[in-house]
Amino acid sequence: MPKLPPAGRVSTVPAAPPSGNPARLIRGTFPLAMAGVCALLGRALELPQLFLPLMPAVAALPAMGRSGGRDVLGAGAAALGGVALLGWGARPVNVIAALAGVLTVTALIRAAARRSRRQETKLARLGRLAQVTQAAVLPRPPESVGGVRLDARYLAATPGATVGGDICGAERTPFGVRLLIGDVSGKGLDVVATAAETLHIWRELAHHESSLAGIALRMDTAVTRIHHHDGFVTALLINVYDDGRVELLSCGHPPPLLVRGGRASWLAGLDATAPLGLMEMVQDRCPTAVVRPAPDDWLLLCTDGVAECRNGAGEFYPLAERLTAFCGREPTVVLDDLEVDLARYRDGGCRDDAMMLLIRPPSRQHSG
């Protein structure tokens, strides 16, 4: 699983790989060879009228593969040459029939090749468009926001997909750096749409709401409005203040892991409230917790796909233990290792979208 590209930089996959030259050569010369062989055999065996009707078939050869207009015309020309060689001395009716056959087949195949080429281009363009849109609606956070360094990883439930119901965001705001990790309930395209809208609303609120509780309440209203079939969104809202304090509000979301001195442990003392979309059930209670990380502390935020990942035997992934085991190297390397380990562990077990966001608060010169 590659490292997710930062927002704004979208990697696009080329449409169809250009076919290599040898293949192209074989495809171009095959009809010519067939026409030649048929003409020689017809002449040598003195049976031109037997081989003449084969020429339209030679012209049809390009239909067997993905060929361009030039291949079709080349095959047509080869077939015409064959007709000319075999037609010498044959009955005019047969020659004319063969000629008509070759021309018709060439025309038909050329038209068909054109259409399929157009369709392919369209498909390729759609594929690219989907990726660009996905990256635009659910962009990954940049490497650093307001001095907070970030590193994200995403393991999709569907291999190859780069979006699902898991979202994360990071914004530099007048209230400090604000971070979000969230998980939209449900599966399918609806979820991607809800995820995109939820993220969009969070981003706007992050710049205008002065408290995390305010953001949560308004997101709750929004999720109730946009999420179909009474779904919900679990989320962890974080505010990193300029003085180094980190405030957290968990809406039914797993707590973060605190990595300190080479050891990882679940952050204690975070009292979760109801997921967004269900806040009414807890009378809008939004308790936050404030921690003050030490200079080299890391926080690992993750979604259920990580926190509740199980193997084939149904055992939970021992995230804190595994993370501790990988600690001691560069954060990127640690995350890479963790990701590979997690992917291996969940192979065979049930899979969910899984997202990890490693945050390193700014290390201050004057700590205190």
Q: Which residues bind other proteins (CB under 8 A)?
A: 201, 204-205, 207-211, 213-214, 217-218, 221-222, 225, 283-285
Which among 231, 247, 267, 256 has a CA at the least distance from the CA of 307?
256
From CA 79, how far away is CA 60, in angstroms rounded? 9
Between 114 and 208, name the residue whose CB sits nearer to other proteins: 208
In whole angstroms, the minimum distance from the beta carbon of 210 to other proteins comes to: 6
Residue 363: left (phi > 0), alpha (psi -120 to 50), or beta?
beta
Between 53 and 214, name the residue whose CB sits nearer to other proteins: 214
From CA 308, how far away is CA 351, in angstroms rounded? 10
In whole angstroms, the minimum distance from the beta carbon of 208 to other proteins comes to: 5
From CA 169, how far away is CA 179, in angstroms rounded? 6
Q: List C-alpha distances in Å: 46 to 51, 53, 132.
A: 10, 15, 62
Between 131 and 221, name the residue whose CB sits nearer to other proteins: 221
**Overall residue count recorded for the chain in this entry:** 368
Q: Contact 17/41 with Cβ under 8 angstroms?
A: no
Residue 239, helix vs strand vs coil: strand
Which among 167, 172, 176 has a CA at the least distance from the CA of 201?
167
From CA 263, how far away is CA 300, in angstroms rounded? 12
In whole angstroms, the minimum distance from the beta carbon of 276 to other proteins comes to: 13
Between 162 and 273, name the residue whose CB sits nearer to other proteins: 273
Give the other-Cβ count within 10 Å of 205's Cβ: 22
Between 222 and 237, name the residue whose CB sits nearer to other proteins: 222
Between 203 and 260, name the residue whose CB sits nearer to other proteins: 203
In whole angstroms, the minimum distance from the beta carbon of 285 to other proteins comes to: 7
Q: What does the block give as tokens for 58?
A: 């030679």
CA–chain centroid gap for 341, Å, is 21
Give the other-Cβ count within 10 Å of 240's Cβ: 26
Which residues fall within 8 angstroms of residue 306, CB to CB, at 6 or more apart?
A: 254, 317, 319, 342, 354, 355, 356
In whole angstroms, the minimum distance from the beta carbon of 277 to other proteins comes to: 13
Q: Contact 271/285 with Cβ under 8 angstroms?
A: no
In whole angstroms, the minimum distance from the beta carbon of 274 to other proteins comes to: 14
In whole angstroms, the minimum distance from the beta carbon of 288 to other proteins comes to: 10
In whole angstroms, the minimum distance from the beta carbon of 272 to other proteins comes to: 18
